[in-house]
């Protein structure tokens, strides 16, 4: 689970935290793509738009879901690790917009460093202090483009999170045994971000599941 920074999806918090992440990347020479994912929270789309405005203004190569869907945290972590396995000189990281372990009424904004897992206390403190500085100074110093320009910026690119993750499952799970068994699986994603991922898993690996 990543560490969530902002709650209630206050736009100022999203802008400040995203700019702080851009500064953290620069300070730690993280020059690869940033994988951006969202969940089904009612305000995730607007938080994503605000983040894109800042990421584009900072010219961060940002990987958006090619299907325009939801992206559970494991898919973002998988994308980071897969990229970094072959690109040690241009490491990737990610942001997941999700309440995670926050109360349902609160939003969440998680940063995943190049190790693909949750940001540790040292990283969260660094980003938190930088974000608070922007908030205390009326957002002065934050780079931002209008969304219409930001989403069309050359640094905004597409990534098929679902297909890459689903295909790779066969490398860590003996799915053929599951598919060939008489087991019938019932799945309830509880309205979460994995709602569309399960259909792809079932179809790709021919599981007897619903």
SS3 label, residue 144: coil
Report which of 39, 62, 61 is spatially closest to residue 196, judged by C-alpha positions. 39
Contact present, 97 and 41 (Cβ < 8 Å): yes
Helices within the chain (DSSP H only): 11-27, 44-57, 73-86, 121-136, 147-150, 161-168, 175-180, 195-205
Contact present, 157 and 33 (Cβ < 8 Å): yes
Neighbours of 92 (CB within 10 A): 25
Q: One of 44, 100, 163, 200 is an active-site residue; which one?
A: 100
Q: Side-chain half-sphere of 62: how many Cα atoms within 13 Å? A: 27
- As given in the structure block, the two tokens for residue 135 are 């908030």
Mention every residue, 6+ apart, whose C-beta is less than 8 A from residue 175: 169, 205, 207
Mention every residue, 6+ apart, whose C-beta is less than 8 A from residue 133: none
Q: Could you confirm whether 163 is annotated as catalytic?
A: no
Report which of 161, 145, 149 is spatially closest to residue 37, judged by C-alpha positions. 161
Q: How far is CA 127 from the centre of its chain?
A: 16
Catalytic residue positions?
100
């Amino acid at each position: 689970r990543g560490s969530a920074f902002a709650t209630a999806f206050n736009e100022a918090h999203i802008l400040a935290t995203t700019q702080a992440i851009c500064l953290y990347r620069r300070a730690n020479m993280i020059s690869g793509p940033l994988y951006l994912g969202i969940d089904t929270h009612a305000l995730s789309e607007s938080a994503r738009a605000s983040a894109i405005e800042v990421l584009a203004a900072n010219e961060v190569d940002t990987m958006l879901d090619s299907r325009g869907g939801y992206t559970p945290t494991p898919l973002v972590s998988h994308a980071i690790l897969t990229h970094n396995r072959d690109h040690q000189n241009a490491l990737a990281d990610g942001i997941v917009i999700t309440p995670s372990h926050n109360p349902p009424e609160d939003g969440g904004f998680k940063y995943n460093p190049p190790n693909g897992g949750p940001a540790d206390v040292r990283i969260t403190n660094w980003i938190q202090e930088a974000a608070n500085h922007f908030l205390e100074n009326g957002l002065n110093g934050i780079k931002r483009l209008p969304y219409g320009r930001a989403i069309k910026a050359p640094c905004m690119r597409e990534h098929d999170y679902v297909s890459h993750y689903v295909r790779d499952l066969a490398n860590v799970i003996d799915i053929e045994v599951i598919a060939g068994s008489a087991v019938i699986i019932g799945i309830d994603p509880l309205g979460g971000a994995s709602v569309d991922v399960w259909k792809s898993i079932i179809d790709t690996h021919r599981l007897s599941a619903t």
